Amino acid sequence: MLTFSDFDSRGYPTVDVRTGYAGWAATYENTVEDVMDLALLDALTAPDWSAVHRAADLGCGTGRTGVWLREHGVPHVDGVDLTPEMLTVARERGVHDRLVEGEATSTGLEGDTYQLVIASLVDEHLPDLGAFYSEASRLATQDARFVVVSYHPQFIISTGMPTHFTDDSGESFTIATHLHLVSDHVTAALEAGWALEEMREGVIDDRWIAAKPKWAKHRNLPISAAYVWKTSH
Ligand SMILES: C[S@@+](CC[C@H](N)C(=O)[O-])C[C@H]1O[C@@H](n2cnc3c(N)ncnc32)[C@H](O)[C@@H]1O
């Protein structure tokens, strides 16, 4: 298993997930780029979003993914997140039926309930992908899909850039980042009974460089990945 610290090029102080996202919640929406995750969701040909009655949004944050799901025909979305400050923003947004403060790997949500489980930009904060894929499997109905959008390991390795934020005083912090290879995802997903239906990768392209001109040096480097898993039983 690879360790992020072996690649860290920034050397920011590291904070845990709750501390980090509590500090980032107020500015999170201004800094995260839709091309990172929502553009990948747009590119997927599966699942049939409008066929989903109820979705579980793991690591729902401020509700960006929930808004996207509702706009694509999913009528009911339940969200789980570890960080109360992120949930406060999501609550104000009002797109989720339920918002629960909890762990993505042990949500406490009812099992065998969701035609879609989704986790966008969350797994790099999880030390254990096995528990993550197993919990999604427990929540899923038969013939459900699990959509995972990830910060791409190749970008983390090549740039040494952790998930990070800058606070009001201008100091930057790493939010504890775990490095999971694509094969780590595949292995954990297969063990939890998932089969891969579709995968897309997002690279640094003109959209990215328009938003972040300094990233021209990263052109064509994969930065995000979307996996669509389906139940294999
Ligand atoms: C980068 S944000 C993504 C939020 C949202 N899915 C989006 O795409 O905008 C990561 C979120 O995952 C949450 N998170 C990280 N680790 C978690 C865990 N173990 N259980 C639940 N939530 C977690 C954080 O609190 C944060 O809100």
165-212 pLDDT, tens digit each? 999 999 999 999 999 999 999 999 999 999 999 999 999 999 999 999
Q: With a 6 A CB cut-off, is 17 part of the ligand 1 pocket?
A: yes
Q: Which of 17, 69, 129, 156 to mutate to test the pocket of ligand 1 (most atoms within 8 A of CB)?
A: 17
Ligand 1 centroid – CA 6 distance (Å): 23
Q: Where are the beta strands (DSSP E) in the chain?
A: 14-15, 54-58, 76-81, 98-101, 114-120, 140-151, 164-166, 172-175, 194-203, 222-231
Which pLDDT value is given to residue 232? 77
Is there an atom of ligand 1 within 6 Å of 41 CB?
Answer: no
Q: Is 119 in the pocket of ligand 1 (CB under 6 A)?
A: no
Please, what is the average pLDDT of the chain? Answer: 97
**Distance, CA of 80 to CA of 150 (rounded, Å):** 17
Sheet strands (E) in 67-183: 76-81, 98-101, 114-120, 140-151, 164-166, 172-175
Q: Is the CB of 81 under 6 A from ligand 1?
A: yes
Question: Which domains does the chain possess?
Answer: 4-231 (3.40.50.150)
How does pLDDT run across 57-102, given as a tens digit for each residue? 999 999 999 999 999 999 999 999 999 999 999 999 999 999 999 9
- Over residues 114-129, the pLDDT tens digits come to 999 999 999 999 999 9
* Cβ atoms within 10 Å of 60's Cβ, excluding its own: 29
Q: What distance in Å separates the CA atoms of residue 119 and residue 83, rounded to the nearest whole number?
A: 15
Q: Could you say which DSSP state residue 181 is in?
A: -
User: Does the C-beta of 176 come closer than 6 Å to ligand 1?
Assistant: no
Three-class SS state of 99? strand
Query: In the predicted model, is pLDDT for residue 233 greater than 70?
Result: no
pTM of this prediction exceeds 0.95:
yes
CA of 92 to the centre of ligand 1 (A): 17
Distance CA 164, CA 185 (A): 22
Q: What average pLDDT does range 6-18 have in this prediction? A: 97
Task: Using pLDDT thresholds of 50, 70 and 90, give the confidence band for residue 1.
Answer: confident
Cα–Cα distance between 233 and 111 in angstroms, integer? 16
Share of the chain above pLDDT 70, in %: 100
Ligand 1 mean position to 58 CA, how many Å? Answer: 7
Residue 173: phi and psi, rounded to 5, are -135, 140
